[in-house]
Structure 1
Amino acid sequence: MKKSNNFFLKPFKTFFILLLCNAFLISCETFIRGKEVILPGERVKVIPIQAYLLPERENFTTPALSGIKKNYNWSQPGGNPQNNVGHISFDNQFRTKWEVSIGVGSSKSGRLTATPIIIAGNIYTLDAESKITSFDIKSGKKIWEKSLVPDGEKKDMAFGGGIAADHGMILVTTAFGDIFALDPYNGNVIWNRNLGVPVRASPTSMNGYVYVMSVDNNIHCIDILTGDIKWNNNWFIESAGFLTSTNVAIDNNIVVVPYRSGELFAFNSINGNRLWADSLSKKNNLSSLAVIKDIIAKPVIVKDIVIASGHEGRTVALDLNTGYRLWEKGIASIQTPWVVGETLYMISSDKKLITLDINTGNIFWYKDLSLYEVNKKKANFIQYNGPLVANNKVLILSTDGKLIVLDAKNGEDLNTYDINRDFSITPIIVDDIIYLLSDDANLIALY
């Protein structure tokens, strides 16, 4: 039987198609670092494309700032249980007073996540391998250190957790699911509670209870004296999210809990009864942000107002007691906002410092922080930590080590300092000294 020409050409067609496919795949390889191993899974853009109205420069207005007060302690990750430090004093020339290593810093296996705390003249840090260290704030001298890694566990799996102080104890959470109450003078364990699941978030404490969010989206209320669990509440968790969690805000016997699914819940802080709930996720959101709904920025309580920002693209002001939404802006953020009087300062995920009226949500002025990015090739990797507001100045620390100082009334440039290190943790200010913790685990005191 005579065979058709198509029969003889079929092997060549197959070979040609395979050759084209191979050439296409090779063209997709990067020639910068050679062939890279591409991990399986869906790629998601995590920096949002935002749409919100900003005033023209000629329509900028000047906010009124509250009086300045001295800050003597930083006992919680957000300064206090409300995550609201206010307008603090700061007479500083940004000179190095001392610098010490706290241990192991960020690496491929883990990263620093814990904000240092300061109480009674000592500063406490937690490195990327769950080692807590106490330093004297005047000299930087090490007082004691203690590893909180359980026997048989690997240190390089220890990243996450955080520190707080209350009732004369240092409270520490770890990635191994432990909550420790330690003696602040020597690090001895007063009590220890294991939750059975990792904890990435820092603890927050008030009125005799410690509140901790575990990675399974469960909030735990723990008796600070005994370590006994008083109540907990679990909410569903999203499949995609950041490898970190945030902490709660507490005031007037109300604890405001940001869940990784994008919901904000308020509970009675004593008995755990649910008071209200809201969502920072956007309905019918078709953008890549829709799969990552985390609330990474700490909620802030100012009098009877709760300010909260979500990664997906929404900032809201809510009545603390009822959950009634006072206003809403389509601004995404993973940085905790800062409130001074009636003025809210926040850094959006698209790199803008924005000031708003806390009562109405109206924008006073904004500053494009991308203007400080000299190396445009690295611009996509630069983010901004903060803000802090002190002595009529706004302080912002970029991840590539630029400390930006702006006028708090209008955003005008005052100065920029190159620290020449990488940073992922917002600085803290106590007694006119600013403390910075770099990604390579160096604690720096500037005066």
Structure 2
Amino acid sequence: MKKTVKYFFFLISIVVLTGCGTREFLGFEKKKFKLPGKRIAILKEENNENIPILKSKIEVVLDESSTTSDWLQSNSSANHLSINHLSDSKLEVFKTLVSGKGETKNSKILTQPVIYKNNIFFLDAKSNVISFDLIEKRIIWKKNISSEGEKNHDIGGGLAIYKDTLIINSPYRQIISLDIESGEVIWVKDIESALRSSPTIYDNKLLSLTLGNKLYALNAESGDLLWEHQGLFNNTTLMSSPKVAIDENIVIVPYSNGDFFALNLNNGREIWRNSFIDLEVKETTNTFTDIDAFPVIKRDMVFMTSAVGKLSAINKKTGNKFWTKDIFSTQTPAVNGNNIFIINKNKELICLNIIDGGVKWSLNIDEGLSDQYRYRWMAPILINSKLIIVGGEKKLIIIDPFNGSILSIKKMPSFPTTSPLVVGGKLYLMLKNGAVVSIE
């Protein structure tokens, strides 16, 4: 009888432990809770077998085409909204205007040129800043910003225009102001770590984000420090880094550890903070958590994407997420009208509805156009109500933004460093070989 009772309790114990999940029940693992609702992947997985499930019935509406007279900073603005550019280019001919030093294994060009008063300013792969007159077709001045005795760290850096000065984020741990006419130094600010992205200019303030996840806010006139903000350092990071976004009195700053903040422009105080990183990602080792794409602000919505594989629409004032989609991109989305156009996994171009993230259309980019996806596609840009993407294996693709169909594919002379810029109806593009070309 005693043996029977013992076996009975033994069997009951096994059933209880099995039902609870033995490792969780005994404390070896945390108990896993199933979240309510159904998890829906709106995009194809890597095997491209799944078709987007969440379809939007909202039609594509674009802003009216307009002309830009200058290109004062990367993406032409502090909020990074996409303009539907008006241009007279037929996108047929690539003409070299001026050349600097091209990329090597240890030197990279990561940011766009800027254009002001018919002069184009660019940073080549050897940290030479070059001013070129687009009318007279000649170099006005050239200045090297490498530090003495510290050559060959020429990865990134960027430019912006403030009044009649050129502001430079240097990969040599300096923020520099040059006279736009002569190239003479006005002021230099030494900082703690390298800069790979362009500064953001808003009113009389400039904001520069370092590779060490530190944001500096300076007076653009004098270079005096106004305030600074420190994010957490990240050991694993991609090569490029983002440019902060500003709208009204709010600064949106993304850090390479996946955190992003809203800060008060005047004093740097935190308004809210959020993150792309959840417990699942934190428990994964050697995971890239970078936010390389620029934040985009449209009214009270902020659009953020990261290497974690998330695209989120966020309330600018509270930091609450309106929606999040499983999209992986290191390229800044083009936000225009009621649409978000974004490159996903370097394999497809997707059009999403701003309000709910529903997919309006998706276009698979043939792997043959980028040598089995070996080469990157740059951020999309709207020109004459057509979507343009450059990259892949030296390709320029023209796409109908209303249905995602490919209209034309052009061959480029070299690989691009960024998307084209459009000023006065003319297209310009920086190439990895150090050349600046016009697209006519």
Question: Normalising by structure 2, what TM-score?
Answer: 0.85
Contact 2:54 2:358 in 1 (8 A): no
Residue of structure 2 aligned with 1:273, choices 269, 274, 288: 269
Q: Distance in 1 between matches of 2:136 and 2:323?
A: 46
Contact 2:347 2:373 in 1 (8 A): no
Q: Distance in 2 between matches of 1:195 and 1:50?
A: 45
The SS at the match of 2:280 is coil
1:81-113: CA deviation from partner (whole Å, max 9, x where unpaired): 111132121232124474134321211112111
1:425 aligned to 2:418? yes
1:49-94: CA deviation from partner (whole Å, max 9, x where unpaired): 5999754799876411221111222111121111113212123212
Alignment of 1:249-260 (within 5 A): 249-260=245-256
- Cα offset, 1:191, TM superposition: 0.9
In the alignment, which residue of structure 2 is the partner of 1:438? 431
- Cα offset, 1:141, TM superposition: 2.1
The SS at the match of 1:226 is coil
Q: Distance in 2 between matches of 1:175 and 1:206?
A: 22
The SS at the match of 1:384 is coil
In the alignment, which residue of structure 2 is the partner of 1:408? 401
C-alpha distance 289-430 of structure 1, shift in aligned 2 (>3 A) = farther
C-alpha distance 69-289 of structure 1, shift in aligned 2 (>3 A) = farther
The SS at the match of 1:417 is strand
- Cα offset, 1:325, TM superposition: 1.0
- Cα offset, 1:121, TM superposition: 1.3
- Cα offset, 1:356, TM superposition: 0.8
In the alignment, which residue of structure 2 is the partner of 1:149? 146
1:85 aligned to 2:82? yes
Alignment of 1:97-136 (within 5 A): 98-136=95-133
Q: Distance in 2 between matches of 1:84 and 1:237?
A: 29
- Cα offset, 1:138, TM superposition: 3.5
In the alignment, which residue of structure 2 is the partner of 1:373? 368
In the alignment, which residue of structure 1 is the partner of 2:343? 347
C-alpha distance 372-91 of structure 1, shift in aligned 2 (>3 A) = farther
1:9-42: CA deviation from partner (whole Å, max 9, x where unpaired): xxxxxxxxxxxxxxxxxxxxxxxxxxxxxxxxxx
Alignment of 1:6-45 (within 5 A): none
Question: Runs of 5+ in structure 1 lacking a partner?
Answer: 1-47
Residue of structure 2 aligned with 1:361, choices 352, 357, 362: 357
Q: Distance in 1 between matches of 2:156 and 2:210?
A: 11
Contact 2:55 2:358 in 1 (8 A): no
Equivalent residue pairs, number: 396
Q: Distance in 1 between matches of 2:55 and 2:259?
A: 37
In the alignment, which residue of structure 2 is the partner of 1:66? 63
- Cα offset, 1:287, TM superposition: 9.5
C-alpha distance 409-288 of structure 1, shift in aligned 2 (>3 A) = farther
Query: Percent of counterpart pairs with the same letter?
Result: 27
Q: Distance in 1 between matches of 2:49 and 2:201?
A: 36
Residue of structure 2 aligned with 1:235, choices 204, 224, 231: 231
RMSD (Å) for aligned C-alpha atoms: 2.3
- Cα offset, 1:272, TM superposition: 0.3
- AA aligned opposite 1:332: F
The SS at the match of 1:284 is helix
- AA aligned opposite 2:425: D
1:388 aligned to 2:385? no
1:181 aligned to 2:177? yes
1:92-140: CA deviation from partner (whole Å, max 9, x where unpaired): 2124474134321211112111211112211110011211111122454
The SS at the match of 1:114 is coil
C-alpha distance 412-181 of structure 1, shift in aligned 2 (>3 A) = same
C-alpha distance 59-189 of structure 1, shift in aligned 2 (>3 A) = closer
1:129-183: CA deviation from partner (whole Å, max 9, x where unpaired): 21111112245421111111122221x2222210011232110011111111111
1:94 aligned to 2:94? no
Contact 1:392 1:409 in 2 (8 A): no
Alignment of 1:42-53 (within 5 A): 49=46
In the alignment, which residue of structure 1 is the partner of 2:331? 335
The SS at the match of 2:379 is strand
Question: Normalising by structure 1, what TM-score?
Answer: 0.84
Q: Distance in 1 between matches of 2:265 and 2:47?
A: 35
Contact 1:281 1:313 in 2 (8 A): no
- Cα offset, 1:212, TM superposition: 0.5
Residue of structure 1 aligned with 2:257, choices 257, 261, 264: 261
Contact 2:132 2:140 in 1 (8 A): yes
Contact 2:55 2:360 in 1 (8 A): no
